[in-house]
Amino acid sequence: MTIDTIPGTVPGLLSARDPGWTEWVDVIVVGSGIAGLTAALRLRGQVERVAVVTKDVLNAGSTQWAQGGIAAALGPEDTPEQHEADTLVAGAGACDPDAVRVLVTEGPAAVQELIDWGANFDKDPDGNLSLTREGGHHRDRIAHAHGDATGAEIQRALVEAVRRAPYAHAGGERSDRGRILVFEHAMVVDLVTAADGGVAGLTIHVMGEGDGDGVGLVRARAVVLASGGLGQVFSQTTNPSVSTADGMAIALRAGAELRDLEFVQFHPTVMWLGPDSRGQQPLISEAVRGEGAFLVDWEGDRFMQGLHELADLAPRDVVSKAIMRRMLDASAGGERSDRRHMGRPHMWLDARHLGRAFWERRFPTILASCRAHGIDPVTDLIPVAPACHYASGGVRTDLWGRSSVPGLYATGEVACSGVHGANRLASNSLLEGLVFSRRIAEVLPAELRPLAEPEWHGGSVGLVPGGVRAELQEVMTSRAGVLRNAEGLAEALERLGKLAEQRAETIDPAAWETTNLLTVSLALAEAALAREETRGSHWRDDFPDRDDERFAGHVDTTMADGATTLRWSEP
Ligand code: SIN
């Protein structure tokens, strides 16, 4: 059922139709985190030419920032069924149960493969994997590395595995079977489709020096999007600066269906650095609460107690909402999720009782980050507030990572595989990337399309100026952030619409990224307006209850020549 069609407001294509150079591969993987590198490593050897394209260097994406760990039923007391039950509860009725079953049953073997590739997880004194607990989990099932540097360790192992493969740089020796061609500092501009609507390749801009400089066309028989999330849509996020929604935007422009964009997870305990702090903010892992830290308000009241059976370890949406309520209730004047309008700008995390030795051993990265900001968690309370952390929605995929565009696959945060529903369970994200990338590599080689001629879809070519990004982020944070209502979302859409009318004079990565952020922000705000209920991470103060009669299904978004259509899909 169509909910709404919004006439063309954003450009339908960003790249010029005359690329300066052309390359070809069988499969191009966009993104180099756990999802992208797993896909590339598993496809290598199965198809002739595999390439990875990444906007920065191979280890610059979100994966390396993951602190808590990777969840899987690995402990003797645990089962995939229990992991499944916790995932479904966190997802608040919006998960695809088949996708969740795949995640939890294939998860343990996938983590073992990661270990075989060289990832060193922490062990207990008996040599077994040391497992911890995070919000929403009823068992200790989070494997971690170097205490709180799990993502960095996984990324190290994967990058080394890629480098161990006979290896060729873009512009250098051609890749053969068994090699992975790597384009670093290369921004994907558009997904290029063929006459049948399926994939024909990508336009990319290789930044810096060398033969590959400028916008070029990489023709490909399949594209695997593994480009991460959209954190930079908001003013404060745990995501790195590269998380500018590029994968979702290029998929949307190419005709792919996006699902449940409104389900954006706000992590409850992000270090509060002051009202004017913008961009990537330091995360205080849920694992710190898993080890016994607790939240207090300005009066020292442990406000999570009695609110949920898991108290400080309740699912993330429950904790974020409780913090926000305290922030808003703390005094008059706080109406929205704009931190500058709060009664209290943050709450506190108390982890002093963990002690110096424990902090140094278990959370060395977080300890260093707190100290770098003048807080010693051994003696001080840590100021914390929710900030954007994870997109549970994204490019809709089936159980094998296939999108609605032939030849286009998606995996990891850019995808909506159905495992997260309305609220991702802690530490399920690394696992999702791992499991679904393995699945893509199982089916893709037999589904390779012939190399197709590009047809240059999309109509209007254009860009908004990079300079509108700060205003876009302010609008999204204050009107479409943690706490939403119809009035605020309508205002967000109007203000974003005005930004979309502006045209960039300079063609550069800032303008490409900002156009992507705007494209996805509009779709996200529209989806949030359409979902007139509160479910998981989507919190509407004008519709405070979950409404299974009207909203048990999904909001699907498509775009044609900049015009967006929202459809309602039954569960
Ligand atoms: C955390 O360590 O709290 C974040 C883990 C996650 O997002 O799953």
Q: What is the pLDDT of residue 322?
A: 94
Q: Return the exposure string of 391-403: e unless at least 16 CB atoms fall within 10 Å of the residue's CB, then b.
A: bbbbbbbbebbbb
Domain end call among 401, 423, 447: 447
The answer to whether the beta carbons of residues 262 and 555 sit under 8 Å apart is: yes
Ligand 1 centre distance from Cα of residue 466 (Å) = 30
Q: pLDDT band at 9, cuts 50/70/90?
A: confident
Domain at 531, CATH number = 1.20.58.100
Q: pLDDT band at 336, cuts 50/70/90?
A: very low
> How far are the Cα atoms of 9, 252, 557, 566, 570 from residue 5, in angstroms, in the given order?
11, 14, 10, 6, 19
Ligand 1 centre distance from Cα of residue 425 (Å) = 9
Q: Is the pLDDT of residue 473 over 50?
A: yes
Asked if residue 10 belongs to a domain, the reply is no
259 is catalytic: no
Task: Give percent of the chain with pLDDT exceeding 90.
Answer: 77
Average pLDDT over residues 469-476: 97
Cα separation of 191 and 457, whole Å? 9
Asked if residue 492 belongs to a domain, the reply is yes
For residues 89 and 169, state if they share a domain. yes
Average pLDDT over residues 301-315: 94
Domain count, the chain: 3
CB-ligand 1 contact for 286 (6 Å cutoff): yes
pLDDT tens-place string over residues 208-217 = 644 445 788 9
Cα separation of 169 and 51, whole Å? 10
What secondary structure letter does DSSP report for 254?
Answer: T
Q: What is the pLDDT of residue 177?
A: 57
- Report the range of poorest mean pLDDT among 5-9, 111-115, 197-201, 486-490: 5-9
Asked if residue 547 belongs to a domain, the reply is yes
Residue type, 12: G
Q: What is the pLDDT of residue 17?
A: 63
Asked if residue 13 belongs to a domain, the reply is no
The answer to whether the beta carbons of residues 56 and 244 sit under 8 Å apart is: no
Q: Return the exposure string of 179-208: e unless at least 16 CB atoms fall within 10 Å of the residue's CB, then b.
A: bbbbbbbbbbbbbbbbeeebbbbbbbbbbe
Q: Is the pLDDT of residue 459 over 60?
A: yes
Closest CA relative to residue 289, chosen from 490, 393, 106, 427? 427
For residues 180 and 83, state if they share a domain. yes
Ligand 1 centre distance from Cα of residue 461 (Å) = 38
Domain end call among 403, 421, 447: 447
pTM of the model: 0.93
Q: What is the pLDDT of residue 330?
A: 55
93: left (phi over 0), alpha (psi -120 to 50) or beta: left
The answer to whether the beta carbons of residues 532 and 547 sit under 8 Å apart is: yes
Q: pLDDT band at 166, cuts 50/70/90?
A: low
Q: Is the pLDDT of residue 116 over 80?
A: yes
The answer to whether the beta carbons of residues 161 and 167 sit under 8 Å apart is: no
Atom of ligand 1 nearest to the CA of 427: 8
Q: pLDDT band at 340, cuts 50/70/90?
A: very low
Asked if residue 351 belongs to a domain, the reply is yes
Asked if residue 560 belongs to a domain, the reply is yes
Q: Is the pLDDT of residue 339 over 80?
A: no
Average pLDDT over residues 553-568: 91
Domain at 299, CATH number = 3.90.700.10
Q: Which residues contact 347 (CB under 8 A, 6 or more apart)?
A: 295, 296, 297, 298, 303, 323, 326, 327, 383, 384, 385
Ligand 1 centre distance from Cα of residue 74 (Å) = 18
Residues in the chain: 571
> How far are the Cα atoms of 454, 522, 564 from residue 8, in angstroms, in the given order?
23, 11, 7
CB-ligand 1 contact for 175 (6 Å cutoff): no
For residues 103 and 252, state if they share a domain. yes
pLDDT tens-place string over residues 57-106 = 888 778 888 888 999 999 999 999 999 999 999 999 999 999 999 999 99
For residues 361 and 301, state if they share a domain. yes
Closest CA relative to residue 188, chosen from 209, 206, 208? 206
pLDDT tens-place string over residues 360-418 = 999 999 999 999 999 999 999 999 999 999 999 999 999 999 999 999 999 999 999 99
Q: pLDDT band at 562, cuts 50/70/90?
A: confident
Asked if residue 17 belongs to a domain, the reply is no
For residues 271 and 378, state if they share a domain. yes
Domain end call among 412, 447, 482: 447
For residues 111 and 184, state if they share a domain. yes
CB-ligand 1 contact for 247 (6 Å cutoff): no
Asked if residue 12 belongs to a domain, the reply is no
Q: What is the pLDDT of residue 175?
A: 44
CB-ligand 1 contact for 426 (6 Å cutoff): yes
Atom of ligand 1 nearest to the CA of 428: 8
Q: What is the pLDDT of residue 164?
A: 80
pLDDT tens-place string over residues 136-155 = 999 999 999 999 999 999 99
Atom of ligand 1 nearest to the CA of 390: 7
User: How many Cβ atoms from other residues are within 10 Å of residue 53's Cβ?
Assistant: 26
For residues 424 and 520, state if they share a domain. no
Ligand 1 centre distance from Cα of residue 389 (Å) = 9
Active-site option among 42, 44, 179, 316: 316
For residues 256 and 273, state if they share a domain. no
Domain at 420, CATH number = 3.50.50.60
For residues 404 and 279, state if they share a domain. no
For residues 163 and 236, state if they share a domain. yes
For residues 277 and 235, state if they share a domain. no
Cα separation of 303 and 323, whole Å? 8
For residues 238 and 330, state if they share a domain. no
Could you tell me the residue range of the domain that residue 256 belongs to? 26-260+390-447
Average pLDDT over residues 340-357: 88
